Amino acid sequence: MRPSSSPSDGLFSGLSGDPGVDAQLADRALLRALLDAEAALAAAGADCGVLPRAAAEAIGACCRADLFDPAALGRAAEDAGNPVVPLVRQLTAALPEPARAWVHLGATSQDVLDTALMLVAARAAGPLLAHLDRAADAAARLAAAHRDTVMLARTLGQQAAPTTFGLKAAGWLVGLAEARTRLDAVRAALPAQLGGAVGTLAALGPAGPAVAARFAAHLGLAASPLPWHTRRQPLLDLAAALGGLLAAAGKTALDVGLLAQVEVGEAAEGGAATGAGPGRGGSSAMPHKRNPVDSVLVGAAARRGPGLVATLYAAAVQEHERAAGAWHAEWEPLLDLLHLAGGAAARTARMLGGLRVDARRMRANLDATGGLVLAEAVAARLTPALGRGAAHDVVARAAAGPDFRAALLADPEVRAHLGPREIDEALDPYGWLGSAGLLVDRALADHRAHRAGPS
């Protein structure tokens, strides 16, 4: 069990989480979800006539998180291997005698804990998706504002060809939007778990399937056609969506951090402009430094995500009807993934919302290449006359010299087909942007359509 404090309260955890998301992951929130599951189970049983309505109402009234101590339950959990057993014992003791026999009817500990984790995930997804919306909106504003801001594209770490900052931001936008769509779909499909001891619902008699359906409905979770005690696809879908979110945020953060390098200087985090305070990004040793803190922290979260996703996937191979250890291995990695995803989404929104873009530096860095990054454009103009291979070789020979334009003008093979005006046209970066503007427009149109549609 986690400590009873919020996941954001520790010296390190506040660097990776978000208060709004973490509030749904704290021990008190998990306890509330466990009790919500117990109350819903009793209500569903009453709906289907397998327990008295009065007993269900008494159980529901007692399923209040403030009546129980998460830390004490955590200490007692070791004897049973999970916190549901001591919780059921304490809940039963707190009830009037006539209702005690009906607590936890037809369920096993895994039913309640799996269902509670699905509730926690669904509740944490609310603020998490809101942060993703803010991040995507910020990326869209950058893409629109810089649709035609020319800059260097970089491939394999090297200067490659011209692109636009608008297209780069549109790439961030689409990655974040895709992550949001996946997570929203997974949230809508998060299932309740009810199977009883071995997945047969035997303790509920013929009403078992009906109770399971009512149980899910009371909680606002999806109904599963079968118990999923050792069929862990719902959890894997959630893990994959959270891992994809961290990857999309991490890619954005990595780009921002690289653009913010002093020798590049094409973008910078907003610092005080984001409301984070004037000292944000400062160094304990070097007074001149302003580190891209959000980029760094999002990148750290993205690097932790794959290990957690791998743990959940490794734990998914479970034996027979109930697992020994694999199920237990899932709980904390899942909560950690939600914690990291919440923090990454919030920090990405802040990072992009306050990003300062230096269009002049982008153009200066592009021009500093002396036209070399337009070598492909020059070769394309020569290809009809020389063939693709020969055109490539001629331009490569000119690119090896200190002055690319002068070398082109001096080369007889080039001069035979291109004059100074054609060479200058080929060396104009705006002439070699392809469909960049149209791609930005497409991404923005998709984003507007999504934001205008139903949540």
Q: Which of 234, 229, 231 is nearest to 198 (CA)?
A: 229
pLDDT value of position 284: 55
Q: Is the pLDDT of residue 260 over 70?
A: yes
Residues whose CB falls within 8 Å of the CB of residue 335, separated by 6 or more in sequence, listed in order? 2, 7, 25, 30, 117, 120
Q: Judge whether 301 lies within some domain.
A: yes
The model carries a pTM of 0.93
pLDDT value of position 281: 65
- pLDDT-based confidence at 282, cuts 50/70/90? low
Given the residues 53, 64, 75, 283, select the one marked as catalytic: 283
Residues whose CB falls within 8 Å of the CB of residue 109, separated by 6 or more in sequence, listed in order? 80, 82, 84, 85, 88
Same domain? 346 vs 395: no
Same domain? 322 vs 392: no
Q: Judge whether 220 lies within some domain.
A: yes
Name the domain boundary from 306, 340, 359. 359
Euclidean distance between CA atoms 107 and 100, whole angstroms = 15
Q: Judge whether 223 lies within some domain.
A: yes
Same domain? 372 vs 349: no
pLDDT value of position 418: 95
With b for 16 or more beta-carbon neighbours within 10 A and e for fewer, the 177-194 pattern comes to bebbebbeebbeebbbbb
Same domain? 335 vs 424: no
Give the number of domains in the chain: 2
Euclidean distance between CA atoms 243 and 146, whole angstroms = 29
Q: Judge whether 204 lies within some domain.
A: yes
Mark whether 13 is an active-site residue.
Answer: no
Same domain? 366 vs 355: no
- 3-state SS, residue 354: coil
Share of the chain above pLDDT 70, in %: 93
- pLDDT-based confidence at 277, cuts 50/70/90? low
**Count H helices, E strands: the chain?**
19, 4
Same domain? 316 vs 412: no
With b for 16 or more beta-carbon neighbours within 10 A and e for fewer, the 393-429 pattern comes to ebbeebbeeeebbebbbebebbeeebeeeebebbbeb
Q: What is the CATH number of the domain that holds 421?
A: 1.10.40.30
The per-residue pLDDT for range 245-259, each reduced to its tens digit, is 999 999 999 999 999
Q: Which of 151, 158, 59 is nearest to 103 (CA)?
A: 59
The per-residue pLDDT for range 54-66, each reduced to its tens digit, is 999 999 999 999 9
Share of the chain above pLDDT 90, in %: 90
- Domain assignment of residue 443, given as a range: 362-452
Given the residues 322, 350, 381, 405, select the one marked as catalytic: 322
Helices 331-353, 233-259: axis angle to 10 degrees equals 30
Q: What is the mean pLDDT of the chain?
A: 94
Same domain? 216 vs 189: yes
Name the domain boundary from 339, 359, 379. 359
**Paired strand residues for 158:** 155
Q: What is the CATH number of the domain that holds 143?
A: 1.20.200.10
Kindly report the backbone phi and psi dihedral angles of residue 151, in degrees, each rounded to the nearest multiple of 5, phi listed first: -155, 175
Mark whether 435 is an active-site residue.
Answer: no
Same domain? 129 vs 239: yes
The per-residue pLDDT for range 341-359, each reduced to its tens digit, is 999 999 999 999 999 999 9
Q: Judge whether 308 lies within some domain.
A: yes
Same domain? 323 vs 438: no
Q: Which helix (H) or strand (E) holds 321?
A: none
90-99 average pLDDT score: 97
Q: Which of 207, 191, 192 is nearest to 46 (CA)?
A: 207
Q: Judge whether 388 lies within some domain.
A: yes
Same domain? 392 vs 324: no
Same domain? 310 vs 408: no
Q: Judge whether 7 lies within some domain.
A: no
pLDDT value of position 11: 82
Same domain? 344 vs 226: yes
Q: Is the pLDDT of residue 454 over 90?
A: no
Q: Judge whether 38 lies within some domain.
A: no
Name the domain boundary from 359, 389, 423. 359
